Amino acid sequence: MGVGKPSDPPGQYDLEISLLGGGNGYGESVLIHLGDDVWVVVDSLLDPKSKENLPLAYLDSIGVDPAESVKLIVASHWHKDHIAGLADIVSACSKAEFSSSVARENSMFLTLVSLDKHISNPTYSGVREFRHILDNVLQSKRPLKNAIEDRLLLAYKRSDGVACEVWALSPSDDTLLHFESKFGELIKKASDGKAITVKAGGPGINDTSVVLLIKVGETHVLLGADLEVTPSHPTRGWHAVMASTKCPKGNEVEVFKIPHHGSENGYHQDVWDRSLLKDNPLVALTSYAPGKKKLPEPKEVKKILDHSENAFITSSPHTAVRPGGKKRSQKAMNAIRGIGLNIKELKFHYGHVRLRKKTERTRFSTVCDSIFGSQRNRRSALWEVNLYGEAKKLSALPLPGSKC
């Protein structure tokens, strides 16, 4: 179990991947330090009690000025547990470019967002958050980058000469075309004078997830967002990512943010067989406990641990609920009991998995590369792992057959 709060910033040439998670659908965010104080923020996470924006709070705690240092913000996809609070990040990171897959020029999504007052669930569907983001981008005259497969979102050369790149590997053209027709149906309904409810959790929205490939010199990191495998649509989901030109297929990815909370639908064998290091890649994920399902399920935990012992999770999904609901006044508790309401509190379990690697190019490292370069398996040992809050090793979670 992790402890304390981090306060130490990364070194100038340290690559950092910080995964923050609240469990239970409160949200998740990834912060990436590429080097030379250049940061990327993916998605957002709010503390439900303090309302604190946790990615911004982390940057503040290590002395990073988001207005100066964050160069790119990515909305991985359009689910509330990924974008709640993202408008605040866009506002605070005033020099960052914003990137999203669904908000594109000529996209009907722009009309859908403009409909927010006429949608029955603008807050819970994430439509209102997106509207705030677009308003902010518009007012600040910042560019909005379309994220689509094989698209370079950020590139620069560090002061030590190391090239840094951030690539979008998804969604595919086919996915976006499919969603244009979905958005069109909703808008048609609204124009016909019918009330509309946007199904935020509706099937397929995870297909619009932006999978990111981070390249810092020879170090590769893959962030899987919530992308799932869609066997009936090989031109979408992980099949499309593996078919994309820029997807690494030479077992060179050292760090993998496991998609979709380690769900069965997010598992794609090819990623493990072809993209990730063959031996013990570093992997991290967030938990989720929607409805009756708790993610990751024990059988998926086992599957991940069969691939890597270097697996970490921001919090356990198995201690996630309080039956009977929140602690509240006796009067209210009696009223709830009186009608026999089957209610439970979804607890907020904040955890932070922080991975750092020194990526400075020196004469010594160049020599080491020439000696050990082919032995990629050793690379995961170069990463420093810190766990904060409720973050823990994935091996601490129950396996199939064990009691939760």
Contact criterion met (CB below 8 Å) for 296 and 32 = no
Instruction: List the strands of the sheet with 97-100, edge to edge.
Output: 97-100, 70-75, 38-42, 28-35, 14-21, 351-358, 383-389
Binding residue for other proteins (CB under 8 A) from 62, 305, 321, 385?
321
The window from 35-43, 130-138, 169-177, 252-260 that contacts other proteins (CB under 8 A) reads 130-138
Binding residue for other proteins (CB under 8 A) from 6, 9, 11, 146?
146
Q: Are strands 163-168 and 212-216 parallel, antiparallel or unpaired?
A: antiparallel
Q: Give the residue with the Cβ less far from other proteins, 99 or 170.
A: 99
Closest CA to 278 of 351, 375, 209: 375
Chain centre distance of CA 41: 9
Binding residue for other proteins (CB under 8 A) from 110, 305, 382, 385?
110
Q: Which residues in the 189-228 window bind other proteins by CB under 8 A?
A: 190-191, 193-202
- Cis peptide, bond prior to residue 48, ω within 30 of zero: no
Please count the residues of this chain forming the interface with other proteins, following the rule CB under 8 A: 63
Closest CA to 355 of 64, 69, 31: 31
Q: Could you give the CA distance from residue 52 to residue 234 in angstroms, rounded to a whole number?
A: 40
Task: Give residue for tokens 């990629």.
Answer: 376
Q: Please report the DSSP string for 54-76 in residue order.
A: HHHHHHHHTT--HHHHEEEEEE-
**What phi-psi label fits residue 13: left (phi over 0), alpha (psi between -120 and 50 degrees) or beta?**
alpha
Number of Cβ within a 10 Å radius of residue 23: 29
Binding residue for other proteins (CB under 8 A) from 88, 97, 129, 226?
97
Shortest Å distance, C-beta 242 to other proteins: 26
Q: Give the residue with the Cβ less far from other proteins, 60 or 345.
A: 345
Q: Which residues in the 324-383 window bind other proteins by CB under 8 A?
A: 325-326, 328, 331-332, 335-336, 338-339, 341-348
The window from 6-14, 71-79, 116-124, 258-266 that contacts other proteins (CB under 8 A) reads 116-124
* Most distant pair of Cα atoms in the chain: their distance: 73
Q: Give the residue with the Cβ less far from other proteins, 3 or 195.
A: 195
State yes or no: residue 261 binds other proteins (CB under 8 A): no
Q: Give the residue with the Cβ less far from other proteins, 118 or 378.
A: 118
Of how many residues is the chain composed? 404
Shortest Å distance, C-beta 115 to other proteins: 5
Shortest Å distance, C-beta 269 to other proteins: 28
Task: Give residue for tokens 């064998």.
Answer: 269
Binding mask 10-49 toward other proteins (x if CB under 8 A, else -) reads --------------xxx---------------------xx
Shortest Å distance, C-beta 310 to other proteins: 32
Binding residues (CB under 8 A) for other proteins: these are 24-26, 48-49, 51, 97, 104-106, 110-111, 113-115, 118-121, 124-125, 134, 137-138, 141-146, 190-191, 193-202, 290-292, 321, 325-326, 328, 331-332, 335-336, 338-339, 341-348
